[in-house]
């Protein structure tokens, strides 16, 4: 039982960090105290179902009861960041440029919350196969990042982005997030079909 609690605690913490939320920010959104969230993430206390459901909602997670025999397949699906989605990987030079551009942007204005998520998204995109439209969208985002970087180099660094540049950065983040999510959903759909086929085959053998 302790092992299960530790797994839940680890998953909640990883989901919070992936969304670049502090414990304080999560506590505000979920209506729990920061001390309670800290205790949960350190597996220091059991999680009430109502609290777990609220945390899952804020962190874009889903709670479900899964048949034990397909747990390994579901766990593999969650871990899987690659796959056989149609298309080709995004150009390496584009991904490298995005990484360098965001590092430069962060050095110019280190405060905006978008940068950690942007780095995570770009890193994830390395492992996906994208269709032609998605690749063009990634390249368009790279060009926009370059224009934003060039604009910020002319602005005195102070850690706070001017409103127009902040809006442009949010647009880049939203665009790349949408591409990543579409690629992930494509992979998830294919893998879930394989899981369901294996599950149905297992049922058939059991009936025999």
DSSP letter, residue 82: -
Per-residue pLDDT averaged across 118-136, rounded? 79
pLDDT for residue 154: 73
pLDDT for residue 190: 57
Q: What percent of the chain has pLDDT over 90?
A: 1
pLDDT for residue 187: 59
pLDDT for residue 189: 56
The residues spanned by each domain of the chain are: 2-63, 92-207
Tokens 């350190």 locate to 42
pLDDT for residue 82: 41
Token pair in block for residue 206: 């059991």
pLDDT for residue 71: 67
Confidence of residue 128 (pLDDT cuts 50, 70, 90): confident
CB 195 within 8 A of CB 73: yes
Spatial separation of the C-alpha atoms in residues 69 and 104, rounded to whole Å: 48
Q: Cα separations (Å) of 65 from 69, 70, 121?
A: 12, 11, 29
pLDDT for residue 109: 73
Give the torsion sign (CA, 17, 22, 23, 25): negative
Spatial separation of the C-alpha atoms in residues 119 and 23, rounded to whole Å: 20
Spatial separation of the C-alpha atoms in residues 94 and 45, rounded to whole Å: 45
User: CA nearest 89: which of 133, 123, 135, 121?
Assistant: 135
Per-residue pLDDT at 207 exceeds 50: no
Per-residue pLDDT at 50 exceeds 80: yes
Per-residue pLDDT averaged across 4-30, rounded? 85
Token pair in block for residue 84: 């056989």
pLDDT for residue 2: 42
CB 160 within 8 A of CB 111: yes
Does residue 115 or residue 13 have the better pLDDT? 13
Chosen CATH of 2-63 out of 3.30.230.10, 1.10.630.10, 3.30.360.10, 1.10.260.40: 1.10.260.40
Per-residue pLDDT averaged across 166-184, rounded? 83
**Which range, 67-81, 82-96, 133-147, is most confident?**
133-147
Per-residue pLDDT at 160 exceeds 60: yes
Confidence of residue 208 (pLDDT cuts 50, 70, 90): very low
Per-residue pLDDT averaged across 154-168, rounded? 71
Q: Where are the alpha helices (DSSP H) in the chain?
A: 2-18, 23-30, 34-41, 49-58, 71-79, 92-108, 114-125, 132-152, 163-207
Per-residue pLDDT averaged across 161-190, rounded? 77
């Amino acid at each position: 039982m302790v092992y299960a609690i530790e797994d839940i605690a680890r998953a909640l913490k990883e989901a919070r960090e992936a969304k670049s939320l502090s414990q304080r920010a999560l506590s505000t959104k979920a209506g729990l105290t920061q001390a309670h969230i800290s205790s949960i993430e350190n597996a220091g206390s059991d999680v009430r179902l109502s609290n777990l459901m609220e945390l899952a909602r804020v962190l874009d997670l889903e709670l479900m009861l899964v048949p034990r025999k397909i747990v390994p397949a579901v766990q593999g699906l969650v871990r899987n960041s690659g796959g056989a989605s149609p298309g080709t990987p995004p150009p390496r030079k584009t991904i490298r440029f995005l990484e360098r551009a965001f590092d430069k942007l962060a050095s110019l204005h280190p405060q905006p919350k978008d940068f950690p998520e942007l780095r995570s998204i770009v890193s994830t995109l390395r492992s996906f196969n994208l269709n032609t439209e998605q690749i063009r969208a990634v390249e368009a985002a790279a060009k926009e990042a370059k224009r934003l970087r060039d604009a910020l180099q002319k602005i005195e660094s102070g850690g706070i982005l001017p409103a127009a540049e902040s809006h442009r950065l949010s647009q880049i983040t939203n665009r790349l997030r949408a591409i990543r999510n579409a690629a992930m959903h494509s992979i998830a759909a294919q893998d879930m079909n394989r899981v369901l086929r294996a599950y149905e085959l297992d049922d058939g053998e059991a009936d025999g």
